[in-house]
Chain A
Amino acid sequence: MSEPVIEVRDLVRKFGDRTVLNGISFTVEKGDTMIIMGGSGCGKSTLLRHIIGSMQPTSGSIKIFGEEITTMPRAQIEKLRLRFGMNFQFGALLQSLTVGENVALPLRENSQVDPEIIDLVVKLKLELVGLTGFEHMKPAEISGGMRKRVGLARAVALDPELLFSDEPTSGLDPIMTAVIDQLTLDLTRKLDMTAVVVSHDMTSAFRIGTKMIMLGAGKKQGHIIAMGTPEEIRNSDNPEVQQFINGQPDGPIPLKLAKEDYLERLLGQPRPEDM
């Protein structure tokens, strides 16, 4: 049994007196596609940033490929980062470079590969995400969905062992969502790439995920309220989880306040008993 690719233990992160992550623990094995879900503001992106080393936790341990990254010196983290790729929520492409130059960036900066081969790889990766022929456009000239896809092409430019994706399919049409999902499946199943995906696209999540965790909000802010395989999550008896995966507007996570609370909020005082 090989060691897990990612091992997070008791991760805590506070911003001032607000605790965003409160004791998160999970592991990701090689070849897994881990889906991190949760409502807006529950800390999914913050968690992802801790795992890639962009943020430092208040306490807790994060191990990637068996190495503890919270105490690692900068130069070593850089070496580690060559082994993974990240696709940001809005692409995070460099605006001053063309699409082709953006995808070529990791190759150009971190390898000694011939420029002609770089060109070839760029074309291959763009073809993979359905953007053949867009090499010479600037990010400002293409749609948001296309920018996301270029981001994905860039993230896999060096064929990393570990892929991180922050909402890879939000804003994409159903067909493109299926294309990206299929691509992620191909990369992970066929090339044995491990993936960590932050998503709230349930269709996509159940299509590609092998393990899922759900982060809580409100009183359960910063805790994992559900963890398991897609089957286990689908059959979960936690009503919050069911509300989330079925997309119901009202449930344990309330849409509207109870009448008394609402009046109190409006009038600024508890409602008199006799009315």
Chain B
Amino acid sequence: MRDYLSLNAQILYWTLLAPFRGRPVRLAHVFEQMVRIGVQAVPMTALTSLSIGITLAMQGAHELSRMGATGYVPDLVALSLLRELGPLLVGVVVIGRSGSAVTAELGTMKVSEEIEALEVMAINPVRFLVVPRFLAMMIMLPALTVFGSYIGMAGGWIICHFSLDLETAAYIRRLIESSKPMDLYSGTVKSFVFAWLIITISCFYGLAVKGGAEGVGRSTTNSVVVCILTMLIADAILTGVFFFAES
């Protein structure tokens, strides 16, 4: 645990303090990681979000039709996605796709002595490897979350328009009327917190690998599991905080 906090402290140092002491962040590396962590996750995120949007709308329509309230399906879709399912599911996709890749990559570097070689060359591994990935995740996960939420709403539209015969304009109007800015903000804040947790945990497990290929495999699995659990717990806490703040 102490090592994990130490890693966080080092990340903060290299992102916030060191640039003012003449050791700037390498933007080229950050952009490279943004492509690998974020841009390449877009297809999977879009597909997942679309399915969730469709499923939500279907389930919602099924239940609400019993009360004759299918007009509220867009509300259900918008609120669920913006507040909860958008951040959570995009988080899970990114953990499975990018988080595990980061752990495996750093872990493999660790067992092939590459991390040690960097240290011996007086190149700080946190600065060189972790910080670009950290910044990339902090930028891309919230972006992917917002993107995913809206794709999900498009999925909702598919059901509402073709199955419930709701006009597109009416659908959009319901979306706008039912959701408040706070819904979007709370979802985005959640995704920032998730981003922080996911990348620090993934890098931590990657750099801590011992023991060859088996070690890399084990660390990657543990990293994914811990990321998901931590994210779910953080989600519960943040949801409570936001409800409390609104009342």
Contacts and interface: CB of A to CB of B under 8 A. Distances in A.
Interface of A: 52-54, 78-79, 81-82, 85-86, 88, 90, 92-96, 105-106, 109-110, 154
B117 interface: yes
Interface string B84-102: 0000000000000000000
A110 B122 contact: yes
A88 B121 contact: no
B119 interface: yes
B112 interface: yes
A109 B117 contact: no
Contacts of A94: 109, 114, 117-118
Contacts of A81: 119-122
18 contacts: A54-B116, A54-B120, A81-B119, A82-B122, A86-B117, A88-B116, A92-B116, A93-B117, A94-B109, A94-B114, A95-B109, A95-B114, A96-B105, A105-B123, A106-B122, A109-B123, A110-B121, A154-B121
A79 B120 contact: no
Interface string B65-88: 000000000000000000000000
A92 B113 contact: yes
Nearest to A79: B122
Interface centre among A53, A82, A94, A110 (most CB of B within 10 A): A94
Contacts of A95: 108-109, 112, 114
Contacts of A90: 112-113
B112 A78 contact: no
Contact of A109 (B112, B120, B128): B128
Nearest to B128: A109
A82 B119 CA distance: 10
B119 A54 contact: yes
B139 to A, nearest CB: 21
Given A92-B114, A95-B108, A105-B123, 4 more contacts: A81-B120, A81-B121, A94-B117, A109-B121
Given A86-B117, A92-B117, A78 B124 contact: yes
Interface residues of B, number: 16
CB-based closest 9 A-B pairs: A92-B117, A92-B113, A81-B122, A78-B122, A86-B120, A109-B123, A106-B121, A82-B122, A94-B114
Contacts of B117: 86, 88, 92-94
Contacts of A86: 117, 120-121
A94 B129 CA distance: 11
Interface in B105-152: 105, 108-109, 112-114, 116-124, 128
A90 B119 CA distance: 16
A45 B15 CA distance: 35
Nearest to A52: B120
A57 to B, nearest CB: 17
Contacts of A96: 105
Contacts of B114: 92-95
Contacts of A54: 116, 119-120
A198 B118 CA distance: 20
A105 to B, nearest CB: 7
Q: Which of B108, B116, B117 has the most CB of A within 10 A?
A: B117
Contacts of B105: 96
A88 B112 CA distance: 10
A242 B123 CA distance: 42
A253 B94 CA distance: 56
Contacts of A106: 121-123
Contacts of B113: 88, 90, 92
Contacts of B124: 78
A109 B125 CA distance: 12
Contacts of A52: 120
Nearest to B113: A92
A78 B23 CA distance: 15
Contacts of B116: 54, 88, 92
B184 to A, nearest CB: 37
Contacts of B122: 78-79, 81-82, 106, 109-110
